[in-house]
Structure 1
């Protein structure tokens, strides 16, 4: 795999495919996610977003693409579940993912900290690591840039209390970030069609992540079934 410095170049103006399946989903398996990533690679994906060290290790066996790594874990008393604690950042760093994505909302994390308190420590510890801030609002993205995140994503728009009724993809947020933040903007969240993907690139995003519309056949099937109801 290319060095950290080249990873942003490899995904610039390109598609990253999210290959994830949670324990309650029928495709939950490192083996299946490895093959899913390979299928995405054959289709032309330039990067993979993946959840868990086990899945990432399997994916690496099949594709030589930049990986945006996360660890999803739900904790009682906190709504933050995308790489919520420092130990998970360490696990991903040791695994050698190209970029680590974290929830960068202003919500309280499982250890009682906020991203403003936690991230400066992580930035100091992992100076050579690229970090992506998963945000839900413009203000959160601006704060993430101030904290030292290398990229900002619109991943959590529509998934927080403050943004629950947002229509996705959040084109307004994407446009605002492209115009006003100084780091690469990665569009993620609710991109369901090729036309929507083209539109976010037309708005000037650096890269874009598509997940469910490509890699979650159960959800795709449900969308088709709805029209028969």
Structure 2
């Protein structure tokens, strides 16, 4: 039987998320968007928050990459920052759990290796390490991650000013990481998604360009309203 990661190989994963102040930020709406994406051939979906994951799981049997964005100052880690967040994500129905895999301090001081081991040992789930640099990707490999993704490129202090997609980072990760490397972040067109696969990406995650109605409309209006 195929493993969860093998079902993603060469495919499109759609990130189905919405801003908290958007009318789309409802479990039933996110589940409908996810189902539509899967019906059209996506190999999996990436979903934030346990309630949304549970709603999606009730409507599909495809792989779900789950996470829980939680801001806990003074830590800047917000993607599944603590084990109990991972536990809730797993209980909601996720197959793969995405975690921040930078070297930034987690809210409770737990190391990346510790949270990955707990997810493996206590939850029996696959771990996707969201990284921003090659160094952090290699550290995530050492920490026991099952796959690495370029998710945080351009969104951390270390990569401030960089604009995703991080194709150069992707190439370096593919060359040096002995794990599946997922391209995520900033993919704005089918051509870019295809290019990521030609660079060796194991799979491609696309969010805003497909599901980001709020952001897309704002972008159009900002351009139309330029004097």
Q: For this structure pair, what is the TM-score category when the shorter chain's length is used for normalisation? A: over 0.9
Deviation sequence 1:142-187 (CA, Å, 0-9, x none): 0101111000000000000110111210000000011110000010
Which of 157, 162, 174 is equivalent to 2:158?
162
Which of 20, 23, 29 is equivalent to 2:20?
23
How many residue pairs get aligned? The number is 225
Note if contact 1:107-1:114 (Cα within 8 Å) is conserved in structure 2: no
User: Partners of 1:23 and 1:224 in 2: how far apart?
Assistant: 21
Gaps of 5+ in 1: none
1:210 aligns with 2:206: yes
Partner secondary structure for residue 83 of structure 1: coil
Partner secondary structure for residue 58 of structure 2: helix
Which of 199, 214, 222 is equivalent to 2:218?
222
Partner secondary structure for residue 158 of structure 1: coil
Q: 1:62 aligns to what?
A: 59
Which of 148, 151, 176 is equivalent to 2:144?
148
Higher mean alpha-carbon deviation, 73-82 vs 152-161, is at 73-82
User: Partners of 1:191 and 1:152 in 2: how far apart?
Assistant: 17
Q: How high is the TM-score relative to the length of structure 1?
A: 0.93
Q: 2:192 aligns to what?
A: 196
Which of 175, 178, 181 is equivalent to 1:179?
175
Gaps of 5+ in 2: none
Q: How high is the TM-score relative to the length of structure 2?
A: 0.93
Question: How big is the shift at 1:95?
Answer: 2.8
Q: 1:99 aligns to what?
A: 96
1:48 aligns with 2:45: yes
Q: 2:110 aligns to what?
A: 113
Q: 1:137 aligns to what?
A: 133
